[in-house]
Homo-oligomer: A and B are copies of this chain.
Amino acid sequence: MSDQRFDPATLTYNDAGLIPAIAQDATSGEVLMMAWMNADAVARTLATGNVTYWSRSRQAFWIKGETSGNVQELVDFRFDCDSDCLLVVVNQSGPACHTGRQNCFYRAVRGGEVVELEAAP
């Protein structure tokens, strides 16, 4: 199969024009977080190398780490078989989670109980 130019419009977005993006740490393989992008955020992420989401609460671009400094440098940009989910492999500066934890998935369910895997800093 010959390679082809990528067009963000070829991805499948939901009714709000958004696609989920999973961020994975390039070094540790840790799943850091999941957030949303629109087509412009996809284009900006690819153009700048700084992972840029669409904030649903603020209805604005969200350059990850722009205020906190906890930026995500894009290492690889992947999309899935249905073209309706993204995987961004990143170099994460500082913690990924707004709670200050390394990643957002710090709670588990084990034996029916909620267990906190990483305490708040």
Contact = CB atoms under 8 A, between A and B. Distances in A.
A29 B119 CA distance: 22
B78 A105 contact: yes
A112 B6 contact: yes
A45 to B, nearest CB: 10
A104 to B, nearest CB: 4
Interface residues of A, number: 42
Interface string A90-104: 000000011101001
A63 interface: no
A107 B78 contact: yes
Interface string A103-121: 0111111101111110100
27 contacts: A1-B116, A3-B114, A4-B114, A6-B112, A6-B113, A22-B22, A22-B34, A24-B31, A28-B29, A29-B29, A29-B30, A34-B80, A34-B85, A76-B110, A77-B109, A77-B110, A78-B105, A78-B107, A78-B108, A79-B107, A81-B97, A81-B98, A81-B99, A81-B106, A85-B104, A85-B105, A87-B105
Given A20-B20, A28-B29, A87-B105, 10 more contacts: A3-B114, A3-B116, A4-B113, A5-B113, A29-B30, A34-B80, A76-B108, A79-B105, A80-B104, A85-B105
